[in-house]
Structure 1
């Protein structure tokens, strides 16, 4: 990650998905909450005051929500990678940190959250 890049954060994107290893997770679904941090250079947009020179975070949020709410997978690792790939499709995004929260994961214990955080650079995504 380059320290010369600015950081755009989108926190708490609530999605309903059918991901998980267990049949009941696939059948019933559950809430997933997504946090994003995007490495971008905001100077071109600041100079032009034009949305075309930055990340349309509204459109990106909807694309991430669709990625979570489609095509169930077993693991949050797979889901996190999918979300990172979606974010890196935006030309202005050089790197992304994705946190997938699965607050209702089927664990037979008292806990507040299960979360996985990954960081991917443009060069690391297939």
Structure 2
């Protein structure tokens, strides 16, 4: 078993429950971790034998651009696509952070973290 991390994916998009958030948008950060068997690719040196982190980054960026009211909804879509598009992933954890959220105080970020295991 091994771990692939794609950290600090920065995206400007428009999630949130408030109308203003839909109009003006906010900065977000996504961190992703997937667990998979890295033994085969460590020996073969072949991209087809591992989880492609370019694909993981693409999934995150595409799903983050689809507006949702809740960060949990976005995170679940990211997890669903990871398992749909890469059968090699055994477990995945995604954290989605809204930078400087409009919650009436001096808060640097709000983060949700969700994990899921493969159903196979």
Scaled by the length of structure 1, what TM-score is found? Answer: 0.88
Q: CA deviation at 1:9?
A: 0.9
Residue of structure 2 equivalent to 1:31: 27
Q: CA deviation at 1:18?
A: 1.3
Q: Mind listing any 5+ residue stretches in structure 1 that lack a counterpart? A: none
Q: Does 1:121 align with 2:117?
A: yes
Residue of structure 2 equivalent to 1:85: 80
Residue of structure 2 equivalent to 1:22: 18
Could you say what secondary structure the match of 2:4 adopts?
strand
Consecutive aligned runs of 4 or more in structure 1 exceeding 6 Å deviation: none
Measure, in 2, the Cα distance between the counterparts of 1:75 and 1:59. Answer: 24
Scaled by the length of structure 2, what TM-score is found? Answer: 0.92
- Richer in strand (by share): 2
Query: Are 2:101 and 2:107, in contact at CA under 8 Å, matched by a contact in 1?
Result: no
Query: What do residues 27-75 of structure 1 show as CA deviations (whole Å, max 9, x unaligned)?
Result: 11111110001011001111211000101101220221111012x1110
Could you say what secondary structure the match of 2:15 adopts?
coil
Q: Mind listing any 5+ residue stretches in structure 2 that lack a counterpart? A: none
